[in-house]
A = this chain, B = another copy of it.
Amino acid sequence: MATGRNHRPATRSRGIPEATVARLPLYLRALTALSERSVPTVSSEELAGAAGVNSAKLRKDFSYLGSYGTRGVGYDVEYLVYQISRELGLTQDWPVVIVGIGNLGAALANYGGFASRGFRVAALIDADPKMTGKQVAGIGVRHVDELESIVHTNGVSIGVITTPAGAAQQVCDRLVGAGVTSILNFSPTVLSVPEGVDVRKVDLSIELQILAFHEQRKAADELSRGLRGPERPAPAAGGTGGGAGGARRGEGPGPDGDIPAVMPA
Q: Are B247 and A196 in contact (CB under 8 A)?
A: yes
Known: A181-B218, A215-B94, A215-B182. A28 touches B209 (CB 8 A): yes
Closest Cβ of chain B to A259, distance in Å, is 13
Identical copies in the complex? 2
Give residues of chain A (203-256) contacting chain B, Cβ–Cβ below 8 Å.
203-218, 221, 231-239, 242-249, 251-254, 256
A56 interface residue per 8 A CB criterion: no
CB of B157 within 8 A of CB of A117, answer no
If the complex has contacts A89-B216, A179-B242, A190-B51, are A205 and B237 also in contact, measured as CB distance less than 8 A?
A: no
The residue in chain B whose Cβ has the minimal distance to the Cβ of A233 is B179
A240 to chain B: closest CB distance in Å? 9
A153 contacts chain B at the CB level, 8 A cutoff: yes
A197 at the interface (CB under 8 A from B): yes
Q: How large is the interface on A (under 10, 10 to 19, 20 to 34, 35 or more residues)?
A: 35 or more
Whether A179 lies near B246 (C-beta < 8 A) is yes
Interface string of A1-34 (1 = CB under 8 A from B): 1111000010001100000011011101110000
CB distance from A83 to the nearest CB of B (A): 13
Q: Which of A37-45, A71-79, A104-112 contacts B (4 or more CB under 8 A)?
A: A104-112
Contact with B along A102-136 (1 / 0, CB 8 A): 11101110110110011100000000000000000
- A213→B1 contact, CB < 8 A: no
> Across chains A and B, which 8 residue pairs bring their CB atoms closest together, nearest first?
A89-B216, A179-B245, A103-B107, A149-B237, A113-B205, A104-B107, A2-B252, A52-B190
